[in-house]
Amino acid sequence: MSEIEAKVKITPRSEDFSEWYQDVIAAAELADYAPVKGCMVIRPNGYAIWENIQKILDQEFKKTEVENAYFPLFIPHEFLKRESEHVEGFSPELAVVTHAGGKKLDESLVVRPTSETIIYDSFSKWIHSWRDLPLKINQWCNVVRWEMRTRLFLRTSEFLWQEGHTAHASENEAEKEAKLRLEMYKNFVEGYLAIPVISGQKTENEKFAGALRTYTFETMTQDKKALQSGTSHNLGQNFSKAFNVKFLDEKGENQFVWQTSWGVSTRLIGALIMAHGDDKGIIIPTKIAPVQVAIVPIWKSDEEKKEMIGAAEKIVLKLQDVKFKIDKRDQRPAWKFFDWERKGVPLRVEIGPKDLEKNQAVCVRRDTGEKIIVPQSDLADKLPEILEEIQKNLFDRALKFQQENTHEIGSWEEFKNTIENKKGFLNALWCGDSSCELKIKEQTKATIRCIPFEQEEVLGQCVHCGKHAKYKVIFAIAY
Amino acid sequence: MSEIEAKVKITPRSEDFSEWYQDVIAAAELADYAPVKGCMVIRPNGYAIWENIQKILDQEFKKTEVENAYFPLFIPHEFLKRESEHVEGFSPELAVVTHAGGKKLDESLVVRPTSETIIYDSFSKWIHSWRDLPLKINQWCNVVRWEMRTRLFLRTSEFLWQEGHTAHASENEAEKEAKLRLEMYKNFVEGYLAIPVISGQKTENEKFAGALRTYTFETMTQDKKALQSGTSHNLGQNFSKAFNVKFLDEKGENQFVWQTSWGVSTRLIGALIMAHGDDKGIIIPTKIAPVQVAIVPIWKSDEEKKEMIGAAEKIVLKLQDVKFKIDKRDQRPAWKFFDWERKGVPLRVEIGPKDLEKNQAVCVRRDTGEKIIVPQSDLADKLPEILEEIQKNLFDRALKFQQENTHEIGSWEEFKNTIENKKGFLNALWCGDSSCELKIKEQTKATIRCIPFEQEEVLGQCVHCGKHAKYKVIFAIAY
């Protein structure tokens, strides 16, 4: 990391949230825009977060009988066309390979925007009888969706994700699976990324192209918008019919399988930044942080340097299950503090000559800025405690923010005023009509983010058209 | 896994090695050809091997200060052209995106065949001073090289790999790095995949397009050909000059960095199959096997089933660091034995009612077929021992095969005879002239696989042209 990069300034959130977001990413060296329009370079600091996300989710998948595999990057164009909603939904975003090996291809190839079609072609060869079900496959890969307006991590032409794909013998099993995966995501995002989520079903307008039903979880950003952070789809038999994925059931009859697909992407890193970051930069929750504790020895002379680094090395010997880094760089302490802050490391431990004299260390929490003086003999116990508190505090703080910015809306006037002046999540009654939903979007830019799973008895009128309401839903301006 | 697939027959190696290879892959469900020409689907059994390869190598990389990152799939065509040898080498194999987002692109994009150019564009922005060096970056990703003749794992239009890229302040450091990585690969392939390798430098004809020097390691297949299994390149300043990757040295002067790149791919799985497989199928060495021990309880009645599975579960409770699977499937024992054999699991443990009576279990080694009766109380100690022996035996067996099929060649007649009748590795003297090397290739299809690092004093004449010899090299027919 060079001096030049160290000079990155972070625009305050209150001034320009969008600039702030860009600045935070640059300051923490998480990602760059690539020379190819809309694509990103994920830098080591950003990629290390993604690796932790992968590691934890991959373990969860494997615990629940999901196997990893890898399917081709290229999909014959014809495959996409077999499911009419699917091709319609993805056509505007496709990148197309027309030439390869020095020749024009007979049939052009699509760079996968998602892999339902190419994977279910394999499923049709792998699945024969009920004994082969359920089949649960996941792949970690890159996908391409050509986007006009891009933003690092949130919307880029290429991004990294995992896509799970399952096949089941019954509709009921597929439905359970789709909901199980959403629950798994929710637990991960709340438990590890410390971001509270709202979850539920997407409306017809907002569902995945080709799905029967899409389940989603959304997070709130500090500019009070909604961010769709992951989805799980009950695909019904839409794709199994298009790709002829059949099995012989126990009675010896041929049936089409019932399917699901579900995914989360590098967008989660964007969600994390937008949920927790402050004007000093990103704040990474303990459980997902590549470095949890930055230990900064402070010295003036070469002799002190040796002594302080020695003291730091003594401390880490006693640490268990803590990911730490001792900062031995020849830079001023203030510069180092600043550097670890903007990199979002949850806890900083400073040890200078005076601390050593007093057998103590100074711990500084990234989330609150609080300084905690800890006797060196207590550090091994105390650091994990503080780290846990940070994890908890980040979640609580984000939950409070979400709750404070969630509004019960009774009238159309109130709806318009709230969206215009307050934003956030708007709980409102809705008639269930797609065209009414679209009119609301046209007038306010707000969309229905989800129909929460638990619906109390819905009594009243649609907030917009005044017709009999079917659901209480959550509206918001979405990223 | 269905009954239909269970019927896959494996062609004996002696009959048709190429068919044997295909059959082994199908029988073990490692990979399929994809509907897109030349691409492959890596099935869960194959992908699990790749995941183990990744896990071990990734740890090694991280121990040696390599950080992971991710760079775009697409490369502006213009980037490739900046290094003239590089573009010439890769042009015939490129897949090109000409349309995206419903429009023709102003500049067509190349799907990465390797990422030197796009990564070094980033390096030119990240590196400023000598403090930023060395920079060591790796990415795990997919790459595309449009191939005419494809073979699963060995040569497919898309494959998975890792590519390491480093930048250094001096030529000497870069040279050391390139050799370190080759050594790391060699240790991994010999130590984990149990495949002996020969290593050395590539000739000018065979080196990487754009490299100063390419180092390679090659393995021998059971049909006595050479398989280039991984390479490491000293790139000199070829790319740093093309991409303007400069640093201020300690004297304050601008210098171009010295670079290396190095990679191994899913081809290693092909190397593994071709080194160890037998007429029953793949044999996976212990240290890389996703399942090391298949425990097969044998029963006739439902009561026996419960009892035998219970006994198996008791056994595994005592196992430490052994990856096992208890086979509870309702299939005949013989079918299960056959199934684990063709899946290449190194050790099978059978427990039937008679074994339980005698407090024993029957262990069957996949590499030798040997049956070993072990008292149940000894299993926890004995299984790891046998597993280690299998690992060792596979390496020893492959080394013996390689040695038996390595020939010292004194004359051109002997060379031609050996290549035609015996194949294998041919140690022979060579003049060092590229055109002579090409003539040998034209006449025999044999190429120089490497110039071994350790050259004794070379005395004599080139095996082909009779001129003064410069090197003793290894010739072979290559995959």
CATH of the domain at B363: 3.40.50.800
Same domain flag for A37 and A167: yes
Q: How far apart are CA A371 and CA A335, in angstroms?
A: 18
Residue A3 has pLDDT above 60, yes or no: no
Assess B435–A contact: CB distance below 8 Å, yes or no.
Answer: no
Q: Give the one of B1, B121, B160 whose C-beta lies nearest to A70's C-beta.
A: B160
pLDDT of B7: 58
Mutate which of B61, B62, B73 to test chain A, going by most A C-beta atoms within 10 A? B73
Q: Give the one of A76, A122, A146 whose C-beta lies nearest to B100's C-beta.
A: A146
Whether residue B153 contacts residue B147, with contact meaning beta carbons closer than 8 Å, is answered with no
Q: How crowded is the C-beta side of B459, counted as CA atoms within 13 Å?
A: 1
Q: Please indicate, yes or no, if residue A65 is contained in any of the structural domains.
A: yes
Assess B248–A contact: CB distance below 8 Å, yes or no.
Answer: no
Same domain flag for A332 and A266: no
Q: How far apart are CA B274 and CA A425, in angstroms?
A: 59
Summarize pLDDT for B106-150 with one digit per residue, the tens: 999 999 999 999 999 999 999 999 999 999 999 999 999 998 889
Distance from the A148 Cα atom to the nearest Cα atom in chain B, whole angstroms: 8
Whether residue A412 contacts residue A463, with contact meaning beta carbons closer than 8 Å, is answered with yes
A1 — pLDDT class (breaks 50, 70, 90): very low
Whether residue A277 contacts residue A24, with contact meaning beta carbons closer than 8 Å, is answered with yes
Torsion sign (Cα): A147, A149, A155, A160: positive
Same domain flag for B319 and B412: no
Assess A93–B contact: CB distance below 8 Å, yes or no.
Answer: yes
Q: How far apart are CA B173 and CA B97, in angstroms?
A: 38
Q: Give the one of A44, A94, A102 whose C-beta lies nearest to B67's C-beta.
A: A44
Within 8 A of A131 by CB-CB distance, chain B residues are 2
Whether residue B41 contacts residue A73, with contact meaning beta carbons closer than 8 Å, is answered with no
Closest by CA to A144, choosing from A107, A182, A103, A97, is A97
Say whether B158 and A2 touch across the interface (CB within 8 A): no
Q: Please indicate, yes or no, if residue B401 is contained in any of the structural domains.
A: no
Whether residue A366 contacts residue A391, with contact meaning beta carbons closer than 8 Å, is answered with no
Look at A268-272, A374-378, B87-91, B246-250 and tell me which has the smallest mean pLDDT: B87-91
Distance from the B362 Cα atom to the nearest Cα atom in chain A, whole angstroms: 28
State the DSSP string of A317-338: HT--S--EEE---SS-HHHHHH
Distance from the A55 Cα atom to the nearest Cα atom in chain B, whole angstroms: 11
Q: How crowded is the C-beta side of A47, counted as CA atoms within 13 Å?
A: 17
Within 8 A of B44 by CB-CB distance, chain A residues are 67-69, 137
Say whether A95 and B99 touch across the interface (CB within 8 A): yes
State the DSSP string of A205-227: TTS-TT-SEEEEEEEE-TTS-EE
Q: Give the one of A35, A144, A160 whose C-beta lies nearest to B70's C-beta.
A: A160
Whether residue B136 contacts residue B66, with contact meaning beta carbons closer than 8 Å, is answered with yes
Q: How far apart are CA B173 and CA B280, in angstroms?
A: 47
Nearest CA in chain A to B77: A36
Token pair of B93, please? Answer: 């194999």
Torsion sign (Cα): A337, A339, A341, A347: negative
> Which residues fall within 8 angstroms of residue A325, CB to CB, at 6 or more apart?
A291, A293, A294, A295, A345
Within 8 A of B96 by CB-CB distance, chain A residues are 97-100
pLDDT of A7: 58
* DSSP designation for A203: P
Whether residue B227 contacts residue B477, with contact meaning beta carbons closer than 8 Å, is answered with no
Q: Please indicate, yes or no, if residue A397 is contained in any of the structural domains.
A: no
Mutate which of A45, A54, A71 to test chain B, going by most B C-beta atoms within 10 A? A71
pLDDT of B71: 98
Nearest CA in chain B to A77: B36
Within 8 A of A50 by CB-CB distance, chain B residues are 70
Q: Cα separations (Å) of A397 from A185, A340, A366?
A: 20, 21, 14
Distance from the A280 Cα atom to the nearest Cα atom in chain B, whole angstroms: 22
Q: Give the one of A51, A72, A111 whose C-beta lies nearest to B41's C-beta.
A: A72
Within 8 A of B34 by CB-CB distance, chain A residues are 71-72, 118
Assess B6–A contact: CB distance below 8 Å, yes or no.
Answer: no
Residue A132 has pLDDT above 70, yes or no: yes
Strand ranges in A237-281 using DSSP code E only, listed in sequence order = 246-248, 254-256, 258-265
Assess A248–B contact: CB distance below 8 Å, yes or no.
Answer: no
Assess A32–B contact: CB distance below 8 Å, yes or no.
Answer: yes
Q: Please indicate, yes or no, if residue B419 is contained in any of the structural domains.
A: yes
Residue B6 has pLDDT above 60, yes or no: no
Q: How far apart are CA A161 and CA A270, in angstroms?
A: 13
CATH of the domain at B49: 3.30.930.10
User: What are the backbone angles phi and psi of residue A41, rounded to the nearest 5°?
Assistant: -100, 120
Same domain flag for B460 and B336: no
Same domain flag for B61 and B180: yes
Same domain flag for A327 and A379: yes
Mutate which of A30, A33, A43, A70 to test chain B, going by most B C-beta atoms within 10 A? A70
Say whether A41 and B1 touch across the interface (CB within 8 A): no
pTM of the model: 0.96
Q: How far apart are CA A26 and CA B26, in angstroms?
A: 48
Summarize pLDDT for B457-467 with one digit per residue, the tens: 888 999 999 99
3-state secondary structure chain B: CCHHHHCCCCCCCCCCHHHHHHHHHHHCCCEEECCCCCCEEECHHHHHHHHHHHHHHHHHHHHCCCEECECCCEEEHHHHHCCHHHHHHHHHHCEEEEEECCEEEEEEEEECCCCHHHHHHHHHHHCCEHHHCCEEEEEEEEEECCCCCCECCCECCEEEEEEEEEEECCHHHHHHHHHHHHHHHHHHHHHCCCCCCEEEECCCCCCCCCCCEEEEEEEECCCCCEEEEEEEEEEECHHHHHHCCEEECCCCCEEECEEEEEEEECHHHHHHHHHHCECCECCCCHHHCCCCEEEEECCCCHHHHHHHHHHHHHHHHHCCCCCEEECCCCCCHHHHHHHHHHCCCCEEEEECHHHHHCCEEEEEECCCCCEEEEEHHHHHHHHHHHHHHHHHHHHHHHHHHHHHCEEECCCHHHHHHHHHHCCCEEEEEECCCHHHHHHHHHHHCCEEEEEECCCCCCCCECCCCCCECCEEEEEECEC
Q: Please indicate, yes or no, if residue A392 is contained in any of the structural domains.
A: no
Summarize pLDDT for B269-324 with one digit per residue, the tens: 999 999 999 999 999 999 999 999 999 999 999 999 999 999 999 999 999 999 99
Give the total number of structural domains in chain B: 3
- Residue A436, classified by CB atoms within 10 Å of its CB into exposed (0-12), middle (13-18) or buried (19+), is middle
Look at A6-15, A395-404, B254-263, B468-477 and tell me which has the smallest mean pLDDT: A6-15
- Where do the H-state alpha helices sit in A30-115? 44-63, 77-81, 84-90
Return the residue matching tokens 């095996």.
Answer: B463
Whether residue A304 contacts residue A353, with contact meaning beta carbons closer than 8 Å, is answered with yes
Nearest CA in chain A to B99: A96
User: What are the backbone angles phi and psi of residue A211, rounded to the nearest 5°?
Assistant: -90, 155
Say whether A101 and B93 touch across the interface (CB within 8 A): yes
Q: Give the one of B69, B92, B98 whose C-beta lies nearest to A102's C-beta.
A: B92
Average pLDDT over residues B95-109: 94
Same domain flag for B353 and B467: no
Within 8 A of A75 by CB-CB distance, chain B residues are 36
Summarize pLDDT for B310-368 with one digit per residue, the tens: 999 999 999 999 999 999 999 999 999 999 999 999 999 999 999 999 999 999 999 99
Question: Could you tell me which residues are beta bridge partners of residue A67?
Answer: A137
Same domain flag for B19 and B165: yes
Q: Give the one of A75, A93, A122 whose C-beta lies nearest to B101's C-beta.
A: A93
Within 8 A of A142 by CB-CB distance, chain B residues are 73, 141-142
- What contacts 24+ positions apart, CB below 8 Å, involve A318-322? A318/A379, A318/A380, A319/A293, A319/A379, A319/A380, A319/A383, A320/A380, A320/A384, A321/A384, A322/A292, A322/A293, A322/A383, A322/A384, A322/A387
Q: Give the one of B36, B51, B101 whose C-beta lies nearest to A109's C-beta.
A: B36
Q: Please indicate, yes or no, if residue A84 is contained in any of the structural domains.
A: yes
Whether residue B392 contacts residue B358, with contact meaning beta carbons closer than 8 Å, is answered with no
Residue A388 has pLDDT above 50, yes or no: yes
Nearest CA in chain B to A47: B69
Domain boundary among A323, A355, A386: A386
Assess A311–B contact: CB distance below 8 Å, yes or no.
Answer: no
Return the residue matching tokens 């390479």.
Answer: B231
CATH of the domain at B447: 3.30.110.30
Same domain flag for A79 and A181: yes
Domain boundary among B225, B247, B276: B276
Same domain flag for B257 and B302: no
Same domain flag for A12 and A119: yes
Whether residue B431 contacts residue B469, with contact meaning beta carbons closer than 8 Å, is answered with yes
Question: Could you tell me which residues are beta bridge partners of residue A430?
Answer: A471
Q: How far apart are CA B115 and CA B141, in angstroms?
A: 10
Q: How far apart are CA A471 and CA B323, in angstroms?
A: 50
Question: Could you tell me which residues are beta bridge partners of residue A84?
Answer: none
Q: Please indicate, yes or no, if residue A304 is contained in any of the structural domains.
A: yes
Closest by CA to B141, choosing from A343, A116, A50, A435, is A50
Taking CA B11 as the corner, what is the angle to CA B6 and CA B15, rounded to the nearest 5 degrees?
175
Assess A316–B contact: CB distance below 8 Å, yes or no.
Answer: no
> Which residues fall within 8 angstroms of residue B211, CB to CB, at 6 or more apart?
B233, B234, B235, B236, B238, B261
Residue A109 has pLDDT above 90, yes or no: yes
Same domain flag for A321 and A264: no
Q: Give the one of A47, A68, A157 whose C-beta lies nearest to B68's C-beta.
A: A47
Burial B273-283 (b: 16+ CB within 10 A, else e): bbbbbbeebbb
Closest by CA to B299, choosing from B341, B340, B231, B352, is B352
Look at A447-451, B38-42, B182-186, B456-460 and tell me which has the smallest mean pLDDT: B456-460
Summarize pLDDT for A350-365 with one digit per residue, the tens: 999 999 999 999 999 9
* Rounded CA Rg of chain B: 25
Residue ranges of B 106-135 with Cβ closer than 8 A to chain A: 108-109, 111, 118, 121-122, 125-129, 131-132
Mutate which of A7, A39, A42, A74 to test chain B, going by most B C-beta atoms within 10 A? A74
- Mean pLDDT of chain B, nearest integer: 96
Distance of CA B379 to the CA centre of its chain: 33
Residue A6 has pLDDT above 60, yes or no: no
Within 8 A of A34 by CB-CB distance, chain B residues are 71-72, 118
Summarize pLDDT for A151-191 with one digit per residue, the tens: 999 999 999 999 999 999 999 999 999 999 999 999 999 99
Domain boundary among B328, B354, B386: B386
Residue A52's domain spans which residues? 3-276
Say whether A36 and B70 touch across the interface (CB within 8 A): no
Residue ranges of A 153-192 with Cβ closer than 8 A to chain B: 157-158, 160
Q: Please indicate, yes or no, if residue B286 is contained in any of the structural domains.
A: no
- Where do the H-state alpha helices sit in A350-449? 353-357, 379-404, 412-421, 434-444
Token pair of A472, please? Answer: 């209480």
Distance from the B361 Cα atom to the nearest Cα atom in chain A, whole angstroms: 28
Assess B63–A contact: CB distance below 8 Å, yes or no.
Answer: no
Assess B65–A contact: CB distance below 8 Å, yes or no.
Answer: no
- Where do the H-state alpha helices sit in A64-170? 77-81, 84-90, 116-126
B33 — pLDDT class (breaks 50, 70, 90): very high
